[in-house]
Structure 1
Amino acid sequence: MDFLERLWEGTGSFFTGALQGIERSITGLFGSSNARQIKRFEAIVQRINSLEEGLIKQSDQELRERTEQFKQRLRDGQTLDDVLVEAFAVCREGGRRFLKMRHYDVQLIGGIVLHHGMIAEMVTGEGKTLVATLPSYLNALSGRGCHVVTVNDYLARRDMEWMAPLYMGLGLSVGAIQGGMSNDERQAAYAKDITYATNNELGFDYLRDNMRLAARGDDRFPKHLQQVQGPLAYAIIDEVDNILIDEARTPLIISGPAHMDVGKYAEADRIARQLKRETHFVVNEKDHTVNLTDEGVRTAEKLADVESFYTAGNMEWPHLIDNALKAVHLYKVDVSYVVKDGSIIIVDDFTGRLMEGRQWSDGLHQAVEAKERVKIKEETQTLATITLQNFFKLYEKVSGMTGTAMPEANEFWKIYKLDVIAIPTNRGMQRIENPDVIFLTEKEKFAAVADDVEITAKYDSVRLKNGQVIVGEITKETATTLSVKTKEQNTTEVKTSDAVEVHRRGRPVLIGTVSIEKSERLSRLLDQRGIKHQVLNAKHHGREAEIVAQAGRLGAVTIATNMAGRGTDIILGGNPETMAWAQLQNKYATRLDVPRDEWETLVNEIEKREQMKAAGENVRQIGGLYVIGTERHESRRIDLQLRGRCGRQGDPGGSRFYLSLEDDLMRIFAGDFVRNMMSRLGMGEGEPIESSFVSRRITAAQNVVEERNFEIRKNLLEYDEVMDQQRKRVYSYRQEILDGIGCRHMVLQQIQQQIEHYVRMYTDPLFGAESYTKWAGT
């Protein structure tokens, strides 16, 4: 079977390569569609640029009045496209005045792409948060609201507070939805011109609104019974691949208690722990399933003290025991979930964040609670559900932005009818992507990572032409020689002509891990070596702003899960504004509540004390941020996001992945085959390799997982399509009633529709012949 899989992968790779070659030839001959679109948008950018000089001369009040003028033109019958050029020019000037950030030309192109309902692929660090202000401002002028969708509450609040001075300076209101908000607060936030929120908050508010008793603004009912959301007109989705691809495997579900006996979960856990792997059950890590064998069923029946699982009253036992086995063998603490305050909190695979208030369905959550010996909650039943795919299809217009959209361009078009446009960078990329280093065991891999971090953070290093690396402290440097005091306190003289590379100590390091467990394991290794570092994972999310602010400073070492991936902007030398907010976040609810004088005084004080600009230049000179990946994620896009933390906005930077054949991805999908191949090549323990063959196997493994995940998303969508038509019909009737349309009118309308349907059917000239044909065919 393994041979057939490899043969199929090889055949697929061959034909894929051939087709890509043909595609490149055609593109070279006729030019790409992407290039033609960019050229068309560049002409619009030139028109926007031509207005800049005149707007600079206007006062703040005159600039603000332009917003009301645009609104009046729209009321008079003009379209958003008619005012796009002037509105973008005004928004750019607002950014320059109120944020001290002027939109680059490529950011204007990104804004045009978003306004036209497409996906803008922008390299990480190109300022996507600022780009979103352009279409947000333009579309908010229509008065129907604009939703900017982010991947977590932290980014929703951060981006709203960061961009709010621009919107407010131009006369628009802005708000953010956060988990735990009351109905009054949500209603107020949705009433703003522009609202920042996560996909989950938007989706759950939609479901909850369709369970509420009163429409928004119906003052006959108290606020907590009223709907909150309003029209779904336009959504800009930040990190669109994460939300519409990765998150789309999980439907949004509002549930209520199912009133089942929770004692059975503990009993199922007791039985599962007595069963033997391979003899009584088989674990399939590829498909994430556990199945009882025939012998396992008989043993479990004895342990449960029942005659048969397949008689009335006992048929739930196989499902309970399957869940208990999954909980024990597939769901790991500090990887899939954490135990916090006596309850189970799920950890998001893709963002590394805690998913408070969410739980696994079909009794799996209760099985994990039984495993961890915490209080078992009642199992739930579904009251309302929708997939993210069908939720975002409810918007009149959707657009998105991310640094990694092209790999999923086909799926974006097939499911959402969204085109992907790659936006050119503002400055040239200086990031160096070093080849992967692979070890046989995980222990050797982590030791190598710790060695690399120690050398980078604590020592200077000189690489010679013969491959030798001298590690220590450069004590003296002339035009022709370098004096290096080694770790053993010996002084070595090196000719500069023999040195290939010279690395200075103090380069900031960001280490990406795939789970809380592995971030803490690596932290212990660095502690043993006396390396000062910070750990950013779901257990320390309260210090996120502070840790991120420090991660680009000279000598900083940061270990992080995927929390330091999407949306994290690590500024070389440090970020005085983020550090200021880290000090004030316990004093004020939001950054907008901080008095301007207090804010500016603190930011200037931090900048002066820490000398961050000068430190940033120093960091650039020694190579910029160094990103180390400790494992490949099942999605290539997550790996790209981690690499994208360095080399932003033309800064220097470098990245390298350290892998082992014991990593989950390799072990489950390619481990035995690659391990045998490495043994034949004579690779022993402790010997690292840089192999294109292994890299291809890793890519193949990621392809397998991505194809499987695509099938899950496709099946979920097809399943939900059945309910989607009914849900839309029922919710639309319900909304009409809440909006004041009489039930009598709706019933009469339905009767009229039925009469028209049957009149058309019976008066059709072919009705008699078709009816006879049907009757004869039965």
Structure 2
Amino acid sequence: MFRVLNKVFDNNQRDVSRIIKTVVQPVNALEEETMKVENLAEAFMALRKRVQEGGESLDDVLIPAFALIREAGRRSIGKRHYDVQLIGGAALHQGRIAEMRTGEGKTLVATLALALNALEGKGCHLVTVNDYLARVGMEEMGLLYRTLGLTVGLANRELQPAQKQAAYACDITYVTNSELGFDYLRDNMAQSREALALRAESPLNFAIVDEVDSILIDEARTPLIISGAAEKATDLYYVYAKLIRRLQKGEPAEPGKRAEATGDYTIDEKGKQVHITEGGIGKIERLLSIPDLYSPENMDKAHMITQAIRAKELYHREKDYMVNAEGEVLIVDEFTGRSMPGRRYGEGLHQAIEAKENVKIENENQTLATITYQNFFRLYNKFAGMTGTAKTEEKEFLDIYGSDVLVIPTNKSILRKDAEDLVYRSRIGKYNAVVQEVVEMHATGRPVLIGTASIVTSEQLSDLLKAANIPHTVLNAKFEAQEASIVAQAGRSGTVTIATNMAGRGTDIKLGGDSEFLLGEAIEQNFGISRFAPEAENFIKAISRQDPAATELGLLIPGVTPDFIQQAQQLELATIADHARVQDIGGLHIIGTERHESRRIDNQLRGRAGRQGDPGSSRFYVSFEDDLMRLFANDRVVSMMDRLGMDDSQPIEAKMVTGAIEKAQARVEDRNFSTRKQLLEFDNVMSVQRDTIYGQRREVLLGPDEAVEESTEGMIADFVDLQLATYAPVDENQDTWDIEGLQTAVVDAVPQLEGFDFAALRGVSPAEAQERLLTAVADAFDARKEELGPTMLNSLSRYVLLQVVDQHWKEHLHGMDVLRQGIGLRGYGQRDPFTEYKFEATNMFNEMIDNLKNDVTKFVFRMQFGQTG
């Protein structure tokens, strides 16, 4: 009965069936006719004309557009979209999250929705997690887009401003999530229209986010921040890094065991916090010769010492961060295992780590602009996402982004066998078992992919495999440059690969290896031509199809010889033979060396095996010394192992243990969701303020002179109203009005009103007083316009508005940072910190706006220009 009910209420299957009927079948019906179209670009541009000039919607032209896009893929890059890929393309066009298994061709699926939405002429963005994927995606799919008459560009940090503008002006732009977000923030700090990177009109129209769960779930805990140097002594971090070595780590108080904490400080690994004990406070005060560590004048010291302890105890080299050859401390992304250049821990923690490692300390920064990924992507008119694992996070996608998840069927059935986890008492017992399994698999010739959660683990396993005489390759944050090559060949027989987190690697693992990838690398290295150049692409595709025309196509590449072509053909034949061999012996085997905090990351690792109907298998090895198990799992299982006398060589394979692991992961996922939710709640307060400031700023930057003049006059009038409300409030007796204070405030900003009869305001009604003062200020503004000329006045107004807004916004962000850091203390007074934050933030924003209007008025009326010869 339950199976019947599930089938009835399976919305996913219902939606897939609907897309098959309304999209896939009609597109298939057009395929034969579309194959006869000689000029695909001409046909596709005719659809653009129907949308832009004929008033038709994208849905009206979806069927012929998809048919043309599929044919363009077949002709240009030799890839015809599968029916299931058409389903994925339709889901993306609808603004949904498409869950597609690894190896199902998400890169090709995205071309359907991107090319279709590009018909509007407003620009589309394909957002990836790293520069490599953005570049490869743009180059590989660029042939398809250009066949349709569309332009495609790549926006990365190496580009000059004009080049980046050109990239974003293309119909389709490939870009990383961080670069896109930073470009948006930088555009909202620009001083001229020419300095904008994104389009001036409709900058955020349509985006597809690749690895959407990685970007919008995992990375969403950290906001994007543009910072400027703040003046603060950094040498003190070295002092405190040495000082804390004289402190002793203790154990926290435990009810019924220890009444008080021991040592000078204790640590909270779950919350990544430290707590200095009373004894520790006294010891620090003696070491620094200060009377009170927590007095107002010593608050900076207390903060820096706390961060020094956190850096020492909670942040570990080769796991949380790495130090490169130049002595830079680079954060290691816990989800992808990649280093993150340009990203720094906040609130002095990064400086504390630099002091701990005794490398050069970079200056602390002040926030100039910031936004969370959640609020940034909600700015798009429409956005979609794709990944291999999203369904478990559907509620969060719906709640925050309004996007549901559609699970796309696989092109071929999944044959991978997933074994139960094996749980060991200690890490060393687990590692020995992993090595033993690798030895056994390697003896059969099966390729093995070992997934680790840190650089340290990957290097430990590498040493153990060396001792066992197992040849292998290591992929972690230290070897990112070879990433694609390592991953592409991880399916060759006898290959053993150790990889630190396989999420978002982008490159497929093909059984027997990837001959196209190897051939492309050889062409680039030997002949200096991109493998994505049309002549190279055509040659590579012909070799992979074993086309007799490959010889003629190869000779079109400058420098290529018949010997090279023969070697390429032999490479393809060897790859085909190895593919068959690996299939026969069971395919790629995945070994996970520990469970990740997120089940999605585990599933992404497993998903590397069994692509496109290939065989494969997976197993995870876990120990009770792993961070996840040690911090969150149930102690009863360890007690049971003790009672049974089990040693390091005896694993547990039981549902009870698997259940404990899943509960531990669920706890961490809940905690991380709470962190993201809280970050979003706080940023939502800032978002309203940011939208107001950025919207006004954009009007000033891009608007006509008349709009700038109107905005300036409006601010000046608001300034006058504010002074009247302050010194001559409507609801008070005129005898109590502070006319002298009103005069001082107004004349300070508008010196041209020095001769105005302020005293006469006391004898008229409040409305009359307001009208007289506003008229006088308006006259002064007209006189200023006559003095400078309309053009000069508008240039002055535009400059003043941008400068004043930026300065006040920067100071406001600093104030908000301080408020956010201290607002938690309000909870001790039985007040809700978030409610207090909203109240305080609103007051601060209103005060900033008032001060901003004051300064705009003052600068417009007071700024002088020197004479030039």
TM range (shorter): 0.7 to 0.9
Q: What is aligned with 1:596? A: 536
Q: What is aligned with 1:359? A: 344
Q: What is aligned with 2:699? A: 736
SS of aligned partner of 1:676: helix
Matched to 1:204, the amino acid is F
Match of 2:455 among 516, 532, 536: 516
More off after superposition, 627-636 vs 280-289: 280-289
Cα 1:584/1:542, change in 2 over 3 Å: farther
**Count of aligned residue pairs for this structure pair:** 679
Larger relative helix fraction:
2
SS of aligned partner of 2:703: coil
Q: What is aligned with 1:447? A: 432
Q: What is aligned with 2:134? A: 156
Q: What is aligned with 1:290? A: 274
Matched residues, percent identical? 50
TM superposition shift of 1:684: 2.2
Match status 1:333 vs 2:317: yes
TM superposition shift of 1:581: 3.6
TM superposition shift of 1:672: 3.5
Matched to 2:656, the amino acid is F
Match of 1:619 among 582, 587, 600: 582
Mapped partners of 1:456, 1:227: distance in 2: 51
TM superposition shift of 1:591: 4.2
CA-atom RMSD, angstroms?
Answer: 2.2
> Residue by residue, what CA displacement relative to the aligned partner does 1:677-728 show, whole Å, maximum 9, x if unpaired?
3223432231112121111111111111111111111111111111111111
Q: What is aligned with 2:41? A: 64
Cα 1:34/1:564, change in 2 over 3 Å: closer
Mapped partners of 1:517, 1:599: distance in 2: 42
Gaps of 5+ in 1: 1-20, 219-224, 459-504, 756-761, 763-778
Structural mapping, 1:155-554, within 5 Å: 155-215=133-193, 218=194, 225-230=195-200, 231-278=203-250, 279-340=263-324, 341-458=326-443, 505-554=444-493
SS of aligned partner of 1:114: helix
Match of 2:18 among 21, 28, 40: 40
TM superposition shift of 1:310: 2.1
TM superposition shift of 1:367: 0.3
> Residue by residue, what CA displacement relative to the aligned partner does 1:719-777 show, whole Å, maximum 9, x if unpaired?
1111111111111111112213331223467899999xxxxxx9xxxxxxxxxxxxxxx
Cα 1:304/1:152, change in 2 over 3 Å: same
| Preserved contact between residue 545 and residue 582 of structure 1 (Cα < 8 Å) | no
Structural mapping, 1:671-710, within 5 Å: 672-710=635-673
Matched to 2:319, the amino acid is V
> Residue by residue, what CA displacement relative to the aligned partner does 1:318-365 show, whole Å, maximum 9, x if unpaired?
211111111111111111111011110111111111101111110000
> Residue by residue, what CA displacement relative to the aligned partner does 1:187-212 show, whole Å, maximum 9, x if unpaired?
12111111111111110000011111
Gaps of 5+ in 2: 251-262, 541-553, 555-563, 721-729, 731-869
Cα 1:595/1:259, change in 2 over 3 Å: farther
Mapped partners of 1:127, 1:575: distance in 2: 15
Matched to 1:648, the amino acid is R
Match status 1:645 vs 2:608: yes
TM superposition shift of 1:385: 0.2
> Residue by residue, what CA displacement relative to the aligned partner does 1:130-180 show, whole Å, maximum 9, x if unpaired?
110100010011111110111111111111112111111111111222233
> Residue by residue, what CA displacement relative to the aligned partner does 1:59-113 show, whole Å, maximum 9, x if unpaired?
2xx2121121011101211110000000001001111111111111111011111
TM superposition shift of 1:40: 1.1
Structural mapping, 1:747-758, within 5 Å: 747=712
> Residue by residue, what CA displacement relative to the aligned partner does 1:384-441 show, whole Å, maximum 9, x if unpaired?
0000000001100011111111111111111111011111111111000011111111
Mapped partners of 1:677, 1:568: distance in 2: 43
Matched to 1:395, the amino acid is Y
Cα 1:599/1:228, change in 2 over 3 Å: farther
| Preserved contact between residue 88 and residue 408 of structure 2 (Cα < 8 Å) | yes
TM superposition shift of 1:607: 4.9
Mapped partners of 1:306, 1:584: distance in 2: 68
Mapped partners of 1:671, 1:334: distance in 2: 28
Mapped partners of 1:185, 1:304: distance in 2: 53
Mapped partners of 1:192, 1:150: distance in 2: 17
SS of aligned partner of 1:354: coil
| Preserved contact between residue 549 and residue 576 of structure 1 (Cα < 8 Å) | no
TM superposition shift of 1:565: 5.2
Matched to 1:710, the amino acid is F
Cα 1:507/1:701, change in 2 over 3 Å: same
Mapped partners of 2:404, 2:412: distance in 1: 25
| Preserved contact between residue 414 and residue 610 of structure 2 (Cα < 8 Å) | yes
| Preserved contact between residue 335 and residue 503 of structure 2 (Cα < 8 Å) | no
SS of aligned partner of 1:322: helix
Q: What is aligned with 1:629? A: 592
SS of aligned partner of 1:355: coil
Cα 1:349/1:416, change in 2 over 3 Å: same
Q: What is aligned with 1:664? A: 627
More off after superposition, 253-262 vs 604-613: 604-613
SS of aligned partner of 1:282: strand
TM superposition shift of 1:593: 4.7
Mapped partners of 1:727, 1:603: distance in 2: 58
Q: What is aligned with 1:474? A: none
Mapped partners of 1:247, 1:179: distance in 2: 19
Pick the structure with greater CA Rg: 2
TM superposition shift of 1:530: 1.1
Cα 1:67/1:750, change in 2 over 3 Å: farther
Match status 1:570 vs 2:509: yes
Cα 1:50/1:708, change in 2 over 3 Å: same
TM superposition shift of 1:566: 4.3
Mapped partners of 2:230, 2:650: distance in 1: 55
Q: What is aligned with 1:495? A: none
TM superposition shift of 1:240: 0.9
Mapped partners of 1:43, 1:345: distance in 2: 50
Cα 1:736/1:584, change in 2 over 3 Å: farther
Q: What is aligned with 2:571? A: 609
SS of aligned partner of 1:315: helix
Q: What is aligned with 1:494? A: none
Mapped partners of 1:181, 1:593: distance in 2: 21
Matched to 1:289, the amino acid is Q
Cα 1:190/1:538, change in 2 over 3 Å: same
Cα 1:753/1:325, change in 2 over 3 Å: closer
Cα 1:255/1:597, change in 2 over 3 Å: closer
| Preserved contact between residue 451 and residue 502 of structure 2 (Cα < 8 Å) | no
TM-score by structure 1 length?
Answer: 0.84
| Preserved contact between residue 662 and residue 671 of structure 1 (Cα < 8 Å) | no
More off after superposition, 245-254 vs 318-327: 318-327
Mapped partners of 2:288, 2:149: distance in 1: 68
> Residue by residue, what CA displacement relative to the aligned partner does 1:118-140 show, whole Å, maximum 9, x if unpaired?
11111222111111010001001
Mapped partners of 2:384, 2:567: distance in 1: 40
Mapped partners of 2:273, 2:537: distance in 1: 58
Mapped partners of 2:528, 2:677: distance in 1: 44
Match status 1:561 vs 2:500: yes
Cα 1:597/1:410, change in 2 over 3 Å: closer
Matched to 1:388, the amino acid is Y
